[in-house]
Structure 1
Amino acid sequence: MDRRPLHEKELTMNWKAYHNRGETLRAVINTANVRRDGILPLDVEGVSETFRDELDLLGALQLKWHTRLGGNIEQVLSVQPMDLRARVALAWKQTADELPGVRAIIDHYRDHPVDDAMASAIATATAKEHYFLAVMAGQSALGDANAAWVGAEIEQHGRNLHQGVATFVVAPADREEEPKRLSLLDRLRAVVAA
């Protein structure tokens, strides 16, 4: 076994390494979802052999988060809702429900990065996520300077939903309403008018 520190190891990616990385990442996610303490589970078997360092593992978890978030946004927008902002916040909430341990880790290291490289990487990922949320919600355009704070507001709506706090009301246009039943007299009038 290679006893060099993680940051000195060179990792090559062949099929076996790729497959093992996927298995290890799934184990890390499962462990994180059980613990929900916000700390990278570096004690999971295979982590030290598969990931260079904490930043490498955090990057893989962020990629998993963003991929799931993108899929959930696509799913909630597929029904063509009228209130895009509310639906994107709902997708954020669904992702947090599905990956609570991963979200806790991202939040912990956003607030307490272990070094400058991690702080920079997390700041970049957060800015891109906020931009993505704002654009998908139809609240910002490409290159819009307001996208960061709009996306942060949408994330906060999603967080509040995840924690069970009502933050907005779904617009009436998004609600499925039963068609209004016409009375017999109204139906007869419609037939005569036709």
Structure 2
Amino acid sequence: MSDLTIVEQSVRSVLKYNHDLTLLQCTSSYPTPDNEVQLNVIRTYQRMFPNIKIGFSGHDQGTPLTLAAVAMGCVVIERHVTLDKEMKGSDHIASLDMSELAMLVRDIRRIDSAMGTGIKRIQPSEQTFMKKLGKRLVFKHSFEKGSKITPKDVMAKVSFKTADDVPLTDTEWEFRELQSDVVQNENVKIFHFRSVSESSDSSG
């Protein structure tokens, strides 16, 4: 039950004496309507207080919004737990039962595992699929030996990986001369073209 000014003043006051502080975003109503949960305040706290732990205290129903908070980087989660949601008291209806708690713990662990390192790289499980589902450069049409091929004559398409495939990003050239016949949708290979030195010698 605070606005940002109160939160900032409180945090600054505590940090004067204790840096072991965790700040949780929370809306104190039971249950909290989804549009008042204000998950983006988590981002605000992370920017304003980069040196303390940020978490989420949820009074919304179910687990999806808590899982979203975890995915946003919250390192502490607080949820109420009840044995019966129909018991007397304002917070029972917004609490998790034991099965929901178990599901929440399981899913948080999945999210933690799925977050990864932040470095984009080909994953081990992708290796097998890359051979048959990865994109390669292929010829748009059939061409005869000696044809002048430009980047407009090739396209990226799902195709089996083969030896000597031209890299998918290799399209920064004006034209290349074929030294063998090729057929439509055939993978573009390094040996399909005359080398730069060969082309220069023949033109000179």
Query: What TM-score comes out, normalization by structure 1 length?
Result: 0.22
More helix by share: 1
Q: Relative contact order (C-alpha < 8 Å, sep 6+): which is higher?
A: 1
Query: What TM-score comes out, normalization by structure 2 length?
Result: 0.21
More strand by share: 2
